[in-house]
Amino acid sequence: MIINKLKLLLLIFLFSIIAHSQTDWVRWEKSDPDYKIPSETIKRQYDLSIQSIGDVVLKPVINAYWFFISDVDGDNCPFYPSCSSFLFTSIKQTNIFQGTLMFFDRFTRDTNIFERSSHYPFYGKHHFYDPVYLYTLDEDLIKIIPAGTQVKKIK
């Protein structure tokens, strides 16, 4: 008698599982997970317009670097803006000689992996904020941001 009750209970339990089984087959289909961290940097604006004599050399070199190296390598630059954007903006705000020197200074700071967090504010989750205007030698533009602080996203 007890065995019959157990069989009946097991039958009811199995019936309830079958009756309430998954009906939405979309949930069980193959998924294509994306393991990339979304880029927090500005999208590239490939621009070939020439507005000055320096643009004849500068824009093709920077666009080629973006297309062949930076986009293929991914979003690995620890700084915001990225080194290529830093070069482009620094040359635009100053001149080709001073902008190139600013870029090489930035690039040497990029290769130093020790104690970055004690020198730079944070931008987003994965970047340090290091804008061009801090290195233009213009006292009116320089605004010191303490290291370790979180900088709001710029749109």
Residue ranges for the chain with pLDDT beneath 70? 1, 19-29, 37-48, 54, 71-75, 153-155
How confident is the model at residue 80, as a pLDDT? 84
How confident is the model at residue 142, as a pLDDT? 76
Give the global pTM. 0.60
How confident is the model at residue 123, as a pLDDT? 85
How confident is the model at residue 22, as a pLDDT? 60
Q: How far apart are CA 110 and CA 104, in angstroms?
A: 10
How confident is the model at residue 23, as a pLDDT? 60
For residue 137, give every residue at least 6 positions away whose Cβ sits within 8 Å of its Cβ, in sequence order, or none.
none
Q: How far apart are CA 37 and CA 68, in angstroms?
A: 20
